[in-house]
Chains A and B, each alone.
Chain A
Amino acid sequence: MTGENAAECVMLEERVFSVTKRFLAMYKKANAGHIGSSLSCAEILVFLKFAWMNDDDTVVLSKGHAAAALYSLLAEAKLLSDSQIDSYYEEGTELPALPPFNAIREIPFATGSLGHGLSVSAGMALGARLNGQDRRFFCVTSDGELDEGSVWEAALFIAHHQLKNVIWLVDRNHIQGIGRTEDVLTLEPLDAKLRAFGYHVVAVDGHDFASLLAARDECTRVLRAQPGAPVAIIANTVKGNGVSYMQDTVESHYLPMSDAQYEQALEEVTRAHAAAVNGLRNAG
């Protein structure tokens, strides 16, 4: 790893630590679930916002259940205020458990009913192309969401129309509503499926910023090449990542934290963050 890369990774580790602490506090205050969903995609969202996206780009969180991670990310980028964050889950809030419609400029569509995000991203991307705009749409889907047929309709459309301004990221944590993806409806070989649809597929560790940055660079090369192809990143992740009692469990989709569990989560996340940063500083 170059010194430059290590420095960028340290910056991203600091960001994701801040984002994670914020959404853990939000979940605790609200006594709410879906914590595992947010822990699964925290690094993905931070990586997109702080290492890839330009001001004109948009993230579409098709897996709307991780809305707290998105809200926290937007707060981290100073696009949501502290008082908006404080209102999460409160009566009369603009920030419900899943993303709202027409309330937050950076959230173009209310998501959470699964299988919509890739299609609306395709529409906005085609719209930008027709407008002659150089705008990109980063669509984060879950893996359980891939059961929805509409995802594959969108995948066909994006590949056929070479909408290279849609960048598709699959949060591949192997857990869906009430079971493991491979036990419910087999998705593997997912990379081969996406390739067969016409995508350039990059599989990475979705919690490791060095891997994510390498995926970004590979995707950028592919997207610039002619004829190139639209890109999909399979981000291999762990549901409830970083919190031992949540990791890789269906329960982490649903259960809120007790006081003791919240303290434990903070401790573990803090310890992991310190280790990650130390490791990067030594490597850099």
Chain B
Amino acid sequence: MVSLFEQRKDLVFVTGDLGYLALEAIARAFGDRFVNAGVAEQNAVSLAAGLARAGHLPWVYSAAVFTVLRPYEQIRNDVCLHKLPVKLVGNGGGYAYGIMGATHHALEDVGAMRVLPNMKVFVPLVAADVAQVVSKMAEDPLPNYLRLGVSAVIPGEIPAFAAWRKLKPGRSAVVIGMGPVLQGLYDSDEDLLDELEIWSVGTLPLEGIPPELAASIKQKRRVITIEEHYLAGGLGEALSYAFLKCGAVPDSLDCLCAAGYPSGRYGSQRFHQEESGLHGPSLVTRLEKAIRG
């Protein structure tokens, strides 16, 4: 953000009173263009819409759940209907706030955003993606939502951020995932990983299905989707429609997604991922079943 601000001076950074030990450099660089709007997300979003109407490029930052859900109607009416370039930034997508508990988790944020007109959702995968995404968002004249999380660390060379990225080839099944939850695949065992052709989705709404992916789906017939988000409104649902639309319909589709709080107990992000079958032994079991099934 600071380097972007050096290039263009129309940015305004609005935080909903979050960003301790995170936003200090931005606050210093932005000066009077850094606004702490207080714990008042509805006003922050409408304020940003007004700033955009006055010719500025506002970024609104808070925890993902507070960025998206508290001011939902403000996003719909004041930002999306008016096609204003307001850039919403939600930190802690999925279970990233871990032990903070359910009120701080964002498991429906992407679904809530992707049904809105003119809204584009960006989900980085690795740390290097974030700066690229921020640049793309700054260039996009429409509303955006950036879902931040703890970046994945994925071996090998990762292509530059894009709507679609093929991360690796594999023998038996196609996995399509959104965001750092893909890490779980790489943390499973090597033999299993060899079976998986892995693709990363970086933006929603989906920009079609790449021909190479469609061909692969037709050949392998098995697709697994993985996301740290509820099934409703998430990547798996979006892909289901896209498969039908492009005629690349797999024989089996397993949508791995957030299960909420099945045990009623709380823990780290990893704890909740494992409870949802998104990481660790529970993920391995589900992958094996999907591949064999």
Contact = CB atoms under 8 A, between A and B. Distances in A.
A124 B83 contact: no
Contact of B33 (A116, A130, A161): A130
Given A102-B83, A109-B49, A150 B74 contact: yes
Contacts of A160: 38
B53 A123 contact: yes
B42 A127 contact: no
Contact of A109 (B53, B58, B83): B53
A104 to B, nearest CB: 12
A120 interface: yes
Contact of A110 (B33, B40, B77): B77
Given A116-B74, A119-B74, A131 B83 contact: no
Contacts of A123: 46-54, 58
Interface stretch (A68-76, A81-89, A151-159, A273-281): A151-159
B62 to A, nearest CB: 13
Contact of A153 (B33, B42, B58): B42
A267 to B, nearest CB: 39
B32 interface: yes
Size bracket, chain A contacts? 20 to 34
A127 B58 CA distance: 10
Contacts of A102: 81-83
A101 B81 contact: yes
B143 to A, nearest CB: 13
Interface in A115-129: 115-116, 119-128
Interface core residue of B37, B50, B52 (most chain A CB under 10 Å): B50
A244 interface: no
B53 A108 contact: yes
Interface string B39-74: 010110111111111111010000000000000011
A109 B82 contact: yes
B205 to A, nearest CB: 21
Query: Mostly helix, strand, loop or mixed at chain B's interface?
Result: helix
Given A102-B83, A156-B40, A150 B46 contact: yes
A116 B79 CA distance: 11
Contacts of B12: 126-127, 130
A147 to B, nearest CB: 14
Given A126-B35, A157-B37, A120 B55 contact: no
Nearest to B32: A130
A227 interface: no
Nearest to B58: A123
A122 B47 contact: yes
A119 B43 contact: yes
A186 interface: no
A130 B74 CA distance: 22
Contacts of B50: 108-109, 119-127
B88 to A, nearest CB: 14
Nearest to B74: A116
B81 to A, nearest CB: 5
A148 B112 CA distance: 22
A127 B53 contact: yes
B249 to A, nearest CB: 38
Given A110-B82, A116-B78, A127 B46 contact: no
Contacts of A120: 46-47, 49-50, 53, 78
B77 A116 contact: yes
Contacts of B48: 123
A109 to B, nearest CB: 6
A92 interface: no
Contacts of B37: 157
A124 B81 contact: no
B48 to A, nearest CB: 6
A261 interface: no
A189 interface: no
B172 to A, nearest CB: 49
A157 B55 contact: no
A113 interface: yes
Contacts of A121: 50
A150 B49 CA distance: 14
Interface string A224-240: 00000000000000000
A131 B83 CA distance: 21
Nearest to A100: B81
Interface core residue of A126, A131, A161 (most chain B CB under 10 Å): A126
Contacts of A128: 54
9 contacts: A109-B53, A113-B77, A119-B49, A120-B47, A124-B50, A127-B56, A130-B12, A153-B40, A157-B37
Given A119-B46, A120-B53, A130-B56, 10 more contacts: A115-B42, A119-B45, A122-B46, A123-B54, A126-B35, A130-B33, A130-B51, A130-B54, A150-B42, A153-B43
Interface of A: 101-102, 108-110, 113, 115-116, 119-128, 130-131, 149-150, 153-154, 156-157, 160-161
Instruction: For the complex of A and B, list the 10 residue pairs with the smallest distance between their C-beta atoms, beginning with the closest.
Output: A123-B50, A127-B54, A119-B46, A153-B43, A153-B40, A123-B47, A150-B42, A124-B50, A120-B50, A101-B81
Interface of B: 12, 32-33, 35, 37-38, 40, 42-43, 45-56, 58, 73-74, 77-78, 81-83
